[in-house]
Structure formats: C-alpha cells, structure tokens
Amino acid sequence: MGRPPCCEKTGVKKGPWTPEEDIILVSYIQEHGPGNWRAVPTNTGLLRCSKSCRLRWTNYLRPGIKRGNFTEHEEKMIIHLQALLGNRWAAIASYLPQRTDNDIKNYWNTHLKKKLNKKLEGHDHENNQDGKSSSSSSSQSKISKGQWERRLQTDIHMAKQALCEALSLDTTPSTGDSPNNNNNSSPNLPVQEPIQTCTTYASSADNIAKLLQNWMKNSPKSSSHSRSTSKMSSFNYPSIGAVSSSSPSEGTINNATIAHEGLDSLFNFNSSNNNSDVSQSMSVDEGGNFTPENNNAAIFQVESKQNFKAEINGSFHQEESKPNLETQVPFTFLEKWLLDDNSNAQAQEELMGMALGETADLF
C-alpha cells in the first residue's frame, strides 16, 4: 500500500538532462515563473516528472547559482551551520544563497565529513595518548546527558562564532572570498586546487549556447526582445559560463560569448536581490581562476546592475525571491542574536571553555 508515484513510471524520462530539455524548461519558467510544477511536463511536453523539473530548476538552472569549489569561508559556514542545524541542508543553503542544498549536501558528504573525521581522529588519537579516552564512537556512547548538553551548547556557540566571522567577512570586499586571492589568513589550510567545474556539463553548456543561439534566431519570440530581456535578464544561466572552465582560452567559451551576444542580456545575473555585494561576489574568481560566475560577471556586469535594480520588483524575482527572503530574515535575526549575545559571550565561553578549546583548532 505504498504511496502512488508522483508520476507515471512509464513514459517518463530519467537520467541526465539534455541541453534541449533545459532550454524548454527555462523558457517555460521564463514565461510562467517557477511553481506549479505539476503543470510543467504537460505544458512543455517534457517527458519528465514534475519533481524532476523542479529539481533541475532548483539545483541547476535557477539564477544565481554558484558552481565550482567552495571557498574557505563557505566551508567554515557549512561546518558551523551543520553543527548548529544538523543535516538541514535547505536551512544551511539559505545562508549560502548561491549554493544549492544539494551542492552543500554533496560537499559535506564528500569533503567536509572526511576532513572533520580526520581531524577528530587526530584529536582522539591525541586524547588516547593521555590514556583516558577510547575511540570516538565508544566515548560518544558514554557521554552523559550533561556532557551531551554541553556539547550541544558548544556546537551552538561555535556556530555563532562562525557566523560572527562570516558576517564580518561579508562586510569586507569579496576578494577575501577567494582562497587564492587572499594569500592567506590560514597557512594551515590546504591550498585549494585550481577550480575544476563540472566539465561534463560544460560540453552540454556549449551545446546549449549554440542551441540558444539558434533558438533565439528561429523563435518568433526572439523578436520581442524587450520582453524576453526584461524577464530573462535576471537569469544567470549557470552552465553557460561553465563552458570549458578549465581552459577559458579554448574555443568553446566563444560559443558562450557568441550566444550571449545573440541573447543580449538573456542570462544576466542575478537573483540575490537583497545582497548588496552581489556584483562583488559574483565577480570574484573562486579559486583565483576562471569561473562561470566570473565569466558571467565580466560579460554582464554593466547591464546587470541596471537590470537587477529594474527587476527587483518584477514578477520573476518575486517568484524567485523566496530563498533570498529566507536569507535576509534569518540573517538579520542572527545578526541581532549574535550582537545581543556577544555581550554574554564571555560568560558562555567560560562555561564552555573546555569544549570550545577542544574544537576551535579544528578550523
């Protein structure tokens, strides 16, 4: 008596999305805005279930998505927010509006978990040398309620600290956002490898660029440029800029540029409409190399601010503003919380000093 599937199992396409499908989806959302996902497959003719469409949009096609390596700052945010919120990736993602929950989840599972485990193992090893504590799992099982509460408090405190740092970092020019640009505050941290965005999709993006070019030429709608621009200029088609990101000088990037010329500001950014340093952060080179955002920012920068302002009140942004609103409200709240709490921080630190000291050097 299982729940019926969200869509018919037969006749529904699965697997990777093709550029053509992306275009169909994007153009549909351009017209109607995101939402009412149930209607998307039927109205577009896509052989995808509504869920798949929504996921594709939220995880890949949505404007303002940043791809590529996570910065040190983002990493810290994630680690601390995870300590605070647990595996509530959507909530965590709301504090990193340019990242999707899926991205953050994947990054946590593939990178940060291991990283922290290693560090913790190291700490356990050190503790073991004291001859008092056993393995992490067994010691954890022996944590008394009081200890558990203290650890929880510690986690919260750590998260607060991270947010404090993050907030102060946010106010600085986002050149600090790039681990390779700030050379660097944390000599202990490993140097990030040159950015390597998903080359699988890059080739697809290349195709999309071409397809879009043709699409705009062939489509009768292409004549209604102003309308198209007015809505689509808020797009940051993330994959366009990802074309051959590892080798920007190669020809493929030209297709994106060419496509852009054809599309004008079709894929202008950005959806982070409440973020005053959007243009900065978008123009920052993640990892000091060519990035999709960087490329987009370079190309679109002039238009973006104007369009951005003009479109803040547009319907499209209203539709897409949810994450940003979510971001804004809790962030303000957290700022307040942090500021209010900072006065009591000393007392808390005394209370939790030991545990904090244990973990502080993890980061």
Partner DNA sequence: AAGAGAGGCAACCGCGAGCGC
Partner DNA sequence: GGCGCTCGCGGTTGCCTCTCT
Site of interaction with DNA (CB under 7 A): 2-3, 5-6, 13-17, 35-38, 48-52, 54-56, 58-60, 67, 87-91, 101-103, 105-107, 109-111, 114, 196, 198-201
Q: Which is nearer to DNA, 35 or 262 (CB)?
A: 35
Q: Which is nearer to DNA, 274 or 301 (CB)?
A: 274
- Report the nearest approach of DNA to the CB of residue 28 (Å): 13
- Report the nearest approach of DNA to the CB of residue 94 (Å): 7
Q: Which is nearer to DNA, 90 or 356 (CB)?
A: 90
Q: Which is nearer to DNA, 36 or 276 (CB)?
A: 36
Residues contacting 129, CB < 8 A, separation 6+: none
- Report the nearest approach of DNA to the CB of residue 340 (Å): 26
Q: Which is nearer to DNA, 7 or 345 (CB)?
A: 7
- Quick one: which of 242, 257, 250 has its CA closest to 205? 242
Q: Which is nearer to DNA, 294 or 304 (CB)?
A: 294
Provide the CA 254 distance to its chain's centre, in angstroms: 26
Q: Which is nearer to DNA, 5 or 353 (CB)?
A: 5
- Report the nearest approach of DNA to the CB of residue 220 (Å): 28
Task: Please name the helix (run of DSSP H) or strand (run of DSSP E) that holds residue 255, with its range, or none.
Answer: helix 252-263
**d(C-alpha 251, C-alpha 29), whole Å:** 30
Token code pair at residue 18: 């093709």
Neighbour-count burial of 288, counting CB atoms closer than 10 A to its CB (0-12 exposed, 13-18 middle, 19+ buried): middle
- Report the nearest approach of DNA to the CB of residue 250 (Å): 14
Q: Which is nearer to DNA, 89 or 308 (CB)?
A: 89
**d(C-alpha 154, C-alpha 151), whole Å:** 5
Contact 31, 43 (CB under 8 A): no
- Report the nearest approach of DNA to the CB of residue 296 (Å): 16
- Report the nearest approach of DNA to the CB of residue 3 (Å): 5
**d(C-alpha 224, C-alpha 210), whole Å:** 20
**d(C-alpha 75, C-alpha 82), whole Å:** 10
- 49 φ/ψ sector (left φ>0, alpha ψ -120 to 50, else beta): beta
Token code pair at residue 125: 């090893």
The label of the residue with tokens 């699965």 reads 14
Taking CA atoms, 286 is separated from 233, 296, 304, 358, in Å, by 23, 13, 19, 31
- Report the nearest approach of DNA to the CB of residue 327 (Å): 12
Residues contacting 7, CB < 8 A, separation 6+: 41, 49, 50, 51
